[in-house]
Amino acid sequence: MAAIPAHNGTMTQQIRAFWKWLAEPLAVIVLMFCATTAIAQPFYIPSGSMEPTLRIGDAMIASKYAYGYSTASLPVMLGPQNGARLLGRLPSRGDVVIFRHPHDPKIVLVKRVIGLPGDRIRMGGGHLVINGRTLPLTETGMGEVQDQDGGKTAIHAFRETLPNGVSHPVYKRHWDGLVDDTAEITVPQGHLFMMGDNRDNSLDSRVAVEDGGVGLVPVANLIGRAEFVVGSYDFLNMRGAASWLSLFRPSRFFQKIA
């Protein structure tokens, strides 16, 4: 009978040791992938289109289960884009949602749901009109918007009340801009009409995709519902180490998004 080389046992032990060493980080990666696909995922805000609800530099958590699942739900969009959703359900008007751009799914955006399938929507003199009803805007004072250079300017703040009774903040400076008077459109089945709360600084469903906007957003492109801000940092105004600590915004930490 041929003798078994002694080093085979050592090699087997080394292989087992290697897989044992590898198993823990692999399990963590798989768990994180599953969690960010099915439960929640962090995002950060790089622009001011949703001010004052979301500020530049906010870090937020989105629930992935709120509207069901599609390929858009994956952290890296994979698989067929056929519009199918598992456990799918529509958002409510007023929900702040995370979604993939209809023209380029690699781009992830956050806006507020304004129109559901079947809704007739237009802008008239800077006011939102849904199904023939002009929505009320109640002035609440002055707010502050931030540009991409970190500068801040004063702006008029309002509250807008949607047909389902949801009230949310709006910033508005002009009433005669390019998207302040638009033709009425009917939201088709399987789509949503999105808008930013910073109405004069948001390329949203008021602007067609071919004109650089978002256009109507397929429900299949939904990633999740924005739930709360976990932290906020005014990174645009970093001017050296001495300013770092002062740029945290503690008042925004763990703030519910509504």
Active-site positions?
Answer: 49, 111
What is the Rg, in whole angstroms, of the alpha carbon atoms belonging to the chain? 23
> What totals of helices (H) and strands (E) does the chain contain, helices first?
1, 15
Instruction: Determine the 3-state secondary structure of 193 from DSSP.
Output: strand
How far apart are the C-alpha atoms of 52 and 171, rounded to whole Å? 7
Q: What angle do CA 155, 157, 161 make, to 5 degrees?
A: 150
How far apart are the C-alpha atoms of 258 and 253, rounded to whole Å? 14
Q: What angle do CA 25, 29, 35 make, to 5 degrees?
A: 140
Spatial contact of 100 and 223, defined as CB atoms under 8 Å apart: yes
Closest CA to 87 of 76, 73, 107, 101: 73
Q: How far is CA 102 from CA 117, 168, 179, 208, 221, in A?
A: 16, 25, 20, 10, 7
Burial of residue 133, with CB atoms counted within 10 A of its CB: 0-12 exposed, 13-18 middle, 19 or more buried: exposed
